[in-house]
């Protein structure tokens, strides 16, 4: 039994009186590829944003790689809210791909990828450049290295976004609806890159998406979220063909008919 | 007297005006960034210092600031036993740049705060420190946004330099006044002074445009 690399223990996230995550229990094992699906407002993106430390939690404990993410142990062993140094250390473990890409518009594609390794990890420029070239080849953008983000299509920008996150060598990759902002004909190229990553690397991957077919192909496990809780989880074949919960059936029916 | 005879003294004045404009615009820009960034700081002490500076210099008259630095400060210094007499150039440049810096600070603050939240989130996800996020992510995107307003402030600063003639600095306005007292040829002299200010403003605008193009070069073709 391997220890989970991500563990949510009765996590509550509330904005004022609006509860986004309602005592969520959720685990991901190292190397596992997990997809979260669910209606909007079900809290699925919030899970990723909490992990990336973009959103603090209201209650409960999140563990990443065996350590509490939003807490640190004080002298007597009890948990206290984490300070910035702890959060910085924890952030190193994760990389995030955003729905809107969030590339740095004033930097070339290559610099988007090398900037954080150089400035944050202190890697030598030449080394960062070599690594960026490898990543650009992996995402098929070698010839666009010296362009600026606005000169690329959405699909190309998102592939840069993936390369940029990978350049920090995270253990866990978080994908927050990576294809939702793309024109339909550009979705495939991004999914292919993510698929390749899933097949060739032992990265832990947590993906929020509406691409059900894709989720089915690459996931070890699919989780259905509804109203701030995980209502059902199962291997993709099982969840998509034989969902146990009424809500899951309704959601899948609505989504698949919509396509 | 022929108008060409006014040209030389007016040109000498224009040189002083140019000098004052360059020094005070550069110093003003530095103050703008210091106070504008200070106002976005999380440290409350820095924030209060920046806000106080901005409000004081935006809320008082430039002419009074100038007189205060030149006439009042030495007297205050004398009372404390310190020599705070400033040469007119220093008092002039200081008053102009403190004034323009206060206006510029609001431009800097606004532009930094207009950088999208997404950019700050991406920087955080890549573990940039707040300082590196400011210098490497936010400011390079904010500076092009500041440029049109900075252009206006620079022009305003050029015209405000005329006030320093009141503390006997021989700038363009001072020379014009001097010539008029001597010759009574108001129309010719002030018309020439007007055109000279206008010419300087055109050059300054062109320079600011070049600077704007330089800091926005990554945006070519965007939008």
Q: Which long-range contacts link A132-135 to residues 24+ away (Cβ below 8 Å)? A: A132/A163, A132/A167, A135/A163, A135/A166, A135/A167
Q: In what order do the strands lie in the sheet with A67-68?
A: A18-28, A6-15, A59-64, A67-68
Q: Which of B121, B124, B218 has the CB atom closest to A148's CB atom?
A: B218
Q: Is A93 touching B (CB cutoff 8 A)?
A: no
pLDDT tops 70 at residue A29? yes
pLDDT tops 60 at residue B223? no
Model pTM score:
0.89
A28 C-beta neighbours (distance < 10 Å), count? 22
**What is the number of CB-based contacts under 8 A between chain A and chain B?**
64
Tokens of residue A33, six digits: 């590829």
Angle between helices B4-40 and B186-215 (to 10 degrees): 40
Close Cβ partners of B161 (under 8 Å, ≥ 6 residues apart): B17, B20, B21, B24, B92, B96, B171, B172, B173
Contact B77, B122 (CB under 8 A): no
Q: Which of A103, A106, A116 has the CB atom closest to B128's CB atom?
A: A116
Tokens of residue A127, six digits: 């080394």
ipTM score over 0.85, yes or no: yes
Q: Do A53 and B124 touch (CB under 8 A)?
A: yes
Structural domains of chain B, count: 1
What is the model's pLDDT at position B173?
A: 92
Q: Do A115 and B136 touch (CB under 8 A)?
A: yes
**Residues in A touching B118 (Cβ below 8 Å):** 98, 100, 102
Q: Is B120 touching A (CB cutoff 8 A)?
A: no
What is the model's pLDDT at position B1?
A: 62
- Find the mean pLDDT for residues B205-219: 92
How far apart (Å, rounded) are the C-alpha atoms in residues A209 and A36?
A: 7
DSSP B129-197: -HHHIIIIIIHHHHHHHHHHHHHHHHHHHHHHGGGGGGGT---HHHHHHHHHHHH--HHHHHHHHHHHH
Residue B173 CA to its chain's centroid (Å): 18
What is the model's pLDDT at position B221?
A: 61
Under DSSP, the state recorded for B217 is G
Cα dist from B168 to A43, B49, B71, B164, whole Å: 69, 32, 12, 7
Q: Do A92 and B122 touch (CB under 8 A)?
A: no
CATH number of the domain to which B156 belongs: 1.10.3720.10
**Residues in A touching B126 (Cβ below 8 Å):** 115-116, 120, 164-165, 168
Q: Do B218 and A96 touch (CB under 8 A)?
A: no
Q: Is A105 touching B (CB cutoff 8 A)?
A: yes
Q: How far is B47 from chain A (nearest CA, A)?
A: 21
Q: How far is B72 from chain A (nearest CA, A)?
A: 47
Q: Is B219 touching A (CB cutoff 8 A)?
A: yes
Q: Do B137 and A104 touch (CB under 8 A)?
A: yes
- Find the mean pLDDT for residues A5-29: 93
Q: Do A102 and B126 touch (CB under 8 A)?
A: no
**Region for A27 from its dihedrals, namely left if φ exceeds 0, alpha if ψ lies in -120 to 50, beta otherwise:** beta
Under DSSP, the state recorded for B90 is H
pLDDT tops 80 at residue B67? yes
- Look at A38-47, A66-75, A144-153, B214-223 and tell me which has the smallest mean pLDDT: B214-223
Confidence of residue A1 (pLDDT cuts 50, 70, 90): low
- Find the mean pLDDT for residues B30-39: 97
Q: Is B117 touching A (CB cutoff 8 A)?
A: no
A44 C-beta neighbours (distance < 10 Å), count? 27
pLDDT tops 70 at residue B105? yes
Q: Structural domain of residue B208, as residue ranges? A: 4-222
């Amino acid at each position: 039994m391997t220890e989970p690399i991500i563990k949510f223990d009765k996590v509550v996230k509330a904005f004022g009186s609006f509860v986004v995550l309602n005592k969520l229990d959720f685990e991901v094992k190292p190397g596992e590829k997990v997809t979260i699906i669910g209606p909007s407002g079900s809290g699925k993106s919030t899970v990723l944003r909490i992990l990336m430390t973009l959103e603090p939690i209201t209650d409960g404990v999140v563990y990443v790689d065996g350590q509490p993410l939003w807490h640190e142990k004080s002298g007597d062993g009890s948990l206290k809210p984490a300070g910035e140094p702890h959060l910085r250390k924890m952030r190193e473990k994760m990389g995030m791909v955003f729905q809107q890409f969030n590339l740095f518009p004033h930097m070339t594609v290559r610099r988007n990828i090398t900037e954080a390794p150089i400035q944050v990890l202190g890697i030598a420029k030449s080394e960062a450049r070599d690594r960026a070239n490898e990543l650009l080849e992996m995402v098929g953008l070698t010839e666009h290295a010296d362009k600026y983000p606005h000169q690329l299509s959405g699909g190309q920008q998102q592939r840069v976004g993936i390369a940029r996150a990978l350049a920090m060598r995270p253990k866990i990759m978080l994908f927050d609806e990576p294809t939702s902002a793309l024109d339909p004909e550009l979705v495939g190229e991004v999914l292919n890159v993510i698929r390749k990553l899933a097949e060739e690397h032992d990265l832990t991957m947590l993906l929020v998406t509406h691409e059900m077919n894709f989720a089915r192909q690459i996931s070890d496990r699919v989780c259905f979220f509804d109203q701030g809780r995980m209502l059902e989880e199962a291997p993709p074949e099982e969840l998509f063909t034989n969902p146990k919960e009424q809500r899951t059936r309704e959601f899948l029916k609505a989504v698949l008919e919509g396509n | 007297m022929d108008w060409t005879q006014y040209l030389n003294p007016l040109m000498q004045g224009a040189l002083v005006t140019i000098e004052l404009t360059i020094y005070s615009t550069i110093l003003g820009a530095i103050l703008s960034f210091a106070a504008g960034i200070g106002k976005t700081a999380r440290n409350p002490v820095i924030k209060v210092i920046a806000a106080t500076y901005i409000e004081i210099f935006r809320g008082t008259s430039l002419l009074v600031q100038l007189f205060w630095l030149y006439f009042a400060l030495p007297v205050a210094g004398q009372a404390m036993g310190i020599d705070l007499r400033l040469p007119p150039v220093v008092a002039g440049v200081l008053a102009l740049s403190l004034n323009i810096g206060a206006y510029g600070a609001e431009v800097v603050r606004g532009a930094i705060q207009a950088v999208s939240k997404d950019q700050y989130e991406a920087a955080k996800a890549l573990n940039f420190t707040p300082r590196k996020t400011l210098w490497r992510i936010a400011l390079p995107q904010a500076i092009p946004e500041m440029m049109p307003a900075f252009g206006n402030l620079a022009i305003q600063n050029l015209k405000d330099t005329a006030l320093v003639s009141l503390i006997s600095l021989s700038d363009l306005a001072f020379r014009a006044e001097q010539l008029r007292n001597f010759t009574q040829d108001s129309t010719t002299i002030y018309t020439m002074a007007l055109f000279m200010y206008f010419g300087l403003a055109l050059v300054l605008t062109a320079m600011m445009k070049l600077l704007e193009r330089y800091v926005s070069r990554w945006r070519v073709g965007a939008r």
